[in-house]
């Protein structure tokens, strides 16, 4: 008789965004006349930039001719893309990352959950609280998190690093020593960032205690402050302790196209074993590569035209971010994030819980956001709004929220 992976049965409730989706669908079925504005899920809304569309078309045409047809992609991804990434995302920022340390994939969600496979089950993970839920859930599925406590909504074997108003939503070094540390800056959900000096402390700490940092930089394109690092490899010594995850979803609108990459420096070792070799083995065995067409589209992200067009796209979303941030601040809300990140993190008014505020917004002004408590216990009493809507909808949503009598 077959047996289940019982770790899956330990997962509490449904995925946050399914719960939100169900609530919104029920509301809209009961009130079909209401125009609901969705500033909840972090999905982009602007169309792909012309340089990317052009690259997609031309790659599609190549696939239609025997001479230019492409089958399986090379294990690590096409060289043209890895070269462009190494040059633009790393060497241009003074980071010594070579193309063969870059593994092209179909996105950071898969990579952030798959990467734990190359580590032993007895590694202790440390996560920010609140956190992008994938890091924890994928470790639950693997059986690395111990038992779940319904009351505290925490796992016995996970080290939680609270990110609160008191610490500027930046985690402090944990008291217990972890083996794997998940960090994400600019942060989802809080929109917080850390300076290069702050990140350097984490790198020094990880090297000192022999931990690996899994650094999710999916939102680096939104950074405008000069002292906020785009990559962990801007810090000295990161090559021996950090894996970096990147995505084309938020900088180039690839949420439906799918492309990302993971960087594992060859200097990152456990004894004599390079983590690079293990991930290469895993990639070769379990993954057949992002499509040629999509990798060509990714290359166009780094073309002169692509860079210029995407700068404008990011600026479009950041204009939304500042409208939300300033509008809600004027209305008396306590807000953070939204400066180097497309997320605005606001304190729910009065003593409302995150879900009470979610219901209030949905029912009174027909605006959907994300309850902070869905990202972890320290998110209770907070709420996330995204800047990824259209400008018109963003303005209307903020103006509606301002009419709330709270
Ligand atoms: C922190 C973080 N990492 C990764 C992802 C997923 O990226 P991708 O679309 O490349 O899978 C998201 C998506 O919302 C995210 O917020």
- What is the domain partition of the chain in residue ranges? 12-46+308-402, 52-304
Q: Given the DSSP bridges, would you call strands 242-247 and 212-216 parallel, antiparallel or unpaired?
A: parallel
Q: How many helices (H) and strands (E) does the chain have?
A: 13, 17
- Six-digit token string for 331: 């209305």
Contacts of 165 (CB under 8 A, 6+ apart): 334, 336, 347
- State the distance from the centre of ligand 1 to the C-alpha of 250, rounded, in angstroms: 8
Question: Each residue of 299-320: pLDDT tens digit?
Answer: 999 999 999 999 999 999 999 9
The yes or no reply on domain 12-46+308-402 and CATH 3.90.1150.10 is yes
pLDDT grade for 118, boundaries at 50, 70 and 90: very high
List alpha helices for 331-386, DSSP H.
354-360
Distance, C-alpha 43 to centroid of its chain: 11
CA of 109 to the centre of ligand 1 (A): 5
52-304 has the same fold as 12-46+308-402: no
User: How much is the average pLDDT of 66-75?
Assistant: 97
Pocket test for ligand 1, best of 219, 250, 253, 287 (most atoms within 8 A of CB): 250
336 pLDDT higher than 80: yes
Whole-Å CA distances, 261 to 74, 101, 105, 113: 14, 10, 5, 13
pLDDT tens readout for residues 234-247: 999 999 999 999 99
Q: DSSP class of residue 231?
A: S
Q: Which two tokens stand for residue 142?
A: 């693997």
Supply the pLDDT for residue 316.
98
Q: Model confidence at 35, in pLDDT bands (50, 70, 90)? A: very high
pLDDT reported for residue 269 = 98
What local confidence, expressed as pLDDT, does residue 183 receive?
98
Strand partners, 337: 344
* pLDDT at res. 90: 98
> For residues 126 and 205, is the Cβ–Cβ distance under 8 A?
no
Q: What is the pLDDT of residue 42?
A: 87
**Cα(45)–Cα(36) distance, rounded to whole angstroms?**
15
Residues with CB under 6 A from ligand 1: 42, 107-109, 112, 132, 184, 188, 216, 218, 247, 249, 255, 260
| pLDDT at residue 223 greater than cutoff 80 | yes
The predicted structure's pLDDT at residue 406: 75
- What is the tens place of the pLDDT at every residue in 176-211? 999 999 999 999 999 999 999 999 999 999 999 999
- To test the pocket of ligand 1, the residue of 112, 221, 245, 258 to mutate (highest count of ligand atoms within 8 Å of its CB) is 112
Q: Grade residue 16 by pLDDT with cuts at 50, 70 and 90.
A: confident
Determine the pLDDT at residue 152. 93
* Alpha carbons 261 and 104: distance in angstroms, whole number: 4
Average pLDDT of every residue of the chain: 97
- Which of 175, 182, 180 is CA-nearest to residue 134? 182
Ligand 1 atom having least distance to the Cα of 42? 14
Q: Which residue from 85, 76, 98, 74 is spatially nearest to 306, judged by alpha carbons?
A: 85
Q: How big is the chain by its Cα radius of gyration, in Å?
A: 21
Calpha distance 160→182 (Å, rounded): 10
Tokens of 241: 């302790």
Report CA(33)–ligand 1 centroid distance (Å).
33
Per-residue pLDDT, averaged over 96-120, amounts to: 98
305: three-class secondary structure by DSSP: helix
For 52-304, CATH number out of 3.40.640.10, 3.20.20.70, 3.40.50.1370, 3.40.50.1980 equals 3.40.640.10
Q: pLDDT-derived band of residue 357, with 50, 70 and 90 as boundaries?
A: very high
Write the pLDDT tens digit of every residue in 255-314.
Answer: 999 999 999 999 999 999 999 999 999 999 999 999 999 999 999 999 999 999 999 999
Beta-strand relationship, 102-105 and 382-386: unpaired
**In whole angstroms, what is the distance from residue 64 CA to residue 297 CA?**
17
pLDDT classification of 405: cutoffs 50, 70, 90: confident
């Amino acid at each position: 008789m077959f047996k289940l992976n019982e770790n899956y049965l330990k997962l509490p409730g449904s995925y946050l965004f399914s719960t939100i989706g169900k609530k919104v669908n029920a509301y809209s079925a009961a009130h079909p006349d209401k125009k609901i504005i969705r500033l909840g899920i972090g999905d982009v809304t602007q169309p792909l930039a012309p340089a990317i569309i052009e690259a997609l078309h031309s790659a599609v045409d190549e696939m239609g001719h025997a001479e230019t047809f492409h089958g399986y992609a090379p294990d690590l991804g096409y060289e043209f893309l890895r070269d462009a990434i190494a040059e633009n995302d790393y060497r241009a920022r003074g980071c010594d990352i070579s193309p063969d340390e870059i593994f092209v994939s179909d996105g950071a969600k898969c990579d952030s959950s798959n990467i734990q496979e190359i580590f032993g089950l007895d590694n202790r993970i440390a996560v920010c609280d609140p956190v992008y839920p994938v890091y924890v859930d994928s470790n639950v599925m693997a059986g690395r998190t111990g038992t779940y406590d319904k009351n505290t909504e925490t796992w016995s074997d996970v080290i939680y690093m609270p990110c609160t108003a008191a610490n500027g939503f930046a985690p402090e070094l944990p008291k217990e020593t972890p083996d794997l540390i998940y960090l994400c800056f600019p942060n989802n959900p809080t929109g917080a960032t850390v300076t290069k000096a702050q990140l350097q402390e984490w790198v020094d700490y990880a090297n000192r205690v022999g931990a690996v940092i899994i650094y999710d930089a999916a939102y680096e394109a939104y950074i405008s402050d000069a002292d906020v690092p785009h990559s962990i490899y801007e810090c000295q010594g990161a090559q021996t302790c950090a894996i970096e995850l990147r995505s084309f979803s938020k900088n180039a609108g690839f949420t439906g196209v799918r492309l990302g990459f993971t960087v594992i420096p060859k200097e990152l070792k456990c004894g004599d074993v390079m983590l690079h070799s293990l991930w290469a083995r895993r990639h070769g065995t379990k993954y057949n590569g992002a499509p040629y067409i999509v990798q060509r589209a990714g290359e166009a992200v780094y073309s002169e035209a692509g860079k210029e067009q995407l700068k404008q796209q990011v600026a479009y979303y950041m204009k939304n971010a500042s409208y939300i941030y300033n509008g809600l601040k004027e209305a008396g809300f306590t807000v953070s994030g939204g400066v180097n990140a497309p997320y605005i993190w606001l304190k729910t008014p009065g003593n409302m819980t995150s879900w009470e505020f979610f219901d209030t917004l949905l029912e009174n002004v027909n605006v959907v956001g994300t309850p902070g408590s869905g990202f972890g216990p320290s998110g209770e009493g907070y709420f996330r709004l995204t800047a990824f809507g259209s400008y018109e909808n963003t303005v209307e949503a903020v103006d509606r929220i301002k009419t709330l009598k709270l």
